[in-house]
Structure 1
């Protein structure tokens, strides 16, 4: 049954998401083609600058639209009249949430892949220069931890939206505002917890004396990279815990709704 639910969810969300991602990919290809034809770079002329800003805005809008659309689908399929029919299926709340989660994770990764591809196509030279500059200062272990943090964020980003939707539907008559408020609340709680846990690292003697020390000295750079590495490891652990909590809350809230129905 889970496989059928996943196929149904993918079939429901994919047409819209494929369309908007395909559109931004075409914009990137067209921009790269014309700028290569005219032998100009993204910010060389007024036209190229406007096109670049427009494209980057479109990429950001697509990323936002993806997560919002997944949240809307979660709400409509489980908490509206459509959800009433869905919930009559002989499927547990856990199975419903797991199906939506796997669908959301898949599209989160596809969204990230398309965004990276668009940026690479359109800003390949600038991206290469940026990576070279970053690699000169960031150790390999810190870079890998950063990548791991980003990947983990893709795994839990849709869960935070689903959890906010579940919380928002507790407020009958103000569900949209409840969803938005729930998402903001979850975000603030995560940030506060992260800052509290990371604060001890920022009281380190090396950080406090960074302004008076030679920032480019190997000793300072090594110590700072070690501190940042510990913070990223802490962030990874915290994200895993938060993701598990989000999932449990989503299942419990849907269970509560099923009992009420």
Structure 2
């Protein structure tokens, strides 16, 4: 049954997201053609006014491009949340909850689809950036950066840096795929308990819990002397202190993800409210 749920959830969200990411890639190709035109040296034969116009157009394009990437990332997350909220707690929810499937499978179906699209989103953004900047003239610099990045993970810059980058990467993955995904589902479940303004309740819950988490993280940094900003400003953080700090963040993200998952399952199992 989980396979059927995944298939349904995937189809219900993918069309619009495919169109949005397709637009991003088309916009990227337009920019690549413009940059290739500029690098070809055609601008050397242009009059000054035309060259100036080209520079203004390039600057405007980059500005819109950055905004577009940010909008795509946010839109993907928001659209998934809206679509899943409707599937679970709107009129559509009456049909969803009559299916012979457990709340656990409902949650896993939503999470797996969300993870897949978050991953696709990241890949599209990375491919888009590379398409825009990777030319013969820039390949050397980009290659050097890539080799340095790989060297850090393979221990080329020391074991401390390697461990730090691994912990940092795991922390970012836990935050994006674990913390924020389960928080969104948990917020929707809590929002459904409101008698009115359920969507507003979910939004307030999401930002409220996120704010509380940020406050706890900040307090933790000041409470633990080794992680205090005062220590950082005076002596700097050692490699082990940095690793300890981000290990703590990683643990917090994982623990919160489990709590949000269990909380969502409890509400869907015991406190479901579709009114």
Q: Structure 1 length normalisation: TM-score?
A: 0.84
The residue number in structure 1 matching 2:72 is 62
Q: Structure 2 length normalisation: TM-score?
A: 0.80
Separation in 2 of the partners of 1:244 and 1:164? 14
Structure 1 residue 37: deviation in Å?
2.1
Structure 1 position 162 matched with structure 2 position 162: no
Q: How many residues are matched?
A: 247
The residue number in structure 2 matching 1:12 is 12
Runs of 4+ in 1 over 4 A off after TM superposition: 124-127, 129-138, 257-261
Q: Which has the larger radius of gyration?
A: 2
Identify the match of residue 186 of structure 1 among 209, 234, 241.
209
CA contact (8 A) 2:84 2:110 kept: yes
Closer, same or farther: CA 140–123 of 1 in aligned 2, 3 Å: farther
Closer, same or farther: CA 33–176 of 1 in aligned 2, 3 Å: same
CA contact (8 A) 1:109 1:154 kept: no
RMSD, aligned α-carbons = 2.7
Separation in 1 of the partners of 2:9 and 2:16? 12
| 1:1-261 paired onto structure 2 within 5 Å | 1-39=1-39, 45-124=55-134, 125=138, 128=142, 139-156=161-178, 157-199=180-222, 200=224, 201-203=226-228, 206-210=231-235, 223-258=237-272
In the alignment, structure 2 segments of 5+ residues that lack a partner are 41-53
Separation in 2 of the partners of 1:122 and 1:158? 30
Separation in 2 of the partners of 1:102 and 1:92? 16
Separation in 2 of the partners of 1:45 and 1:260? 55
Separation in 2 of the partners of 1:85 and 1:108? 27
CA contact (8 A) 1:202 1:208 kept: no
Structure 1 residue 184: deviation in Å?
0.7
Structure 1 residue 123: deviation in Å?
3.6
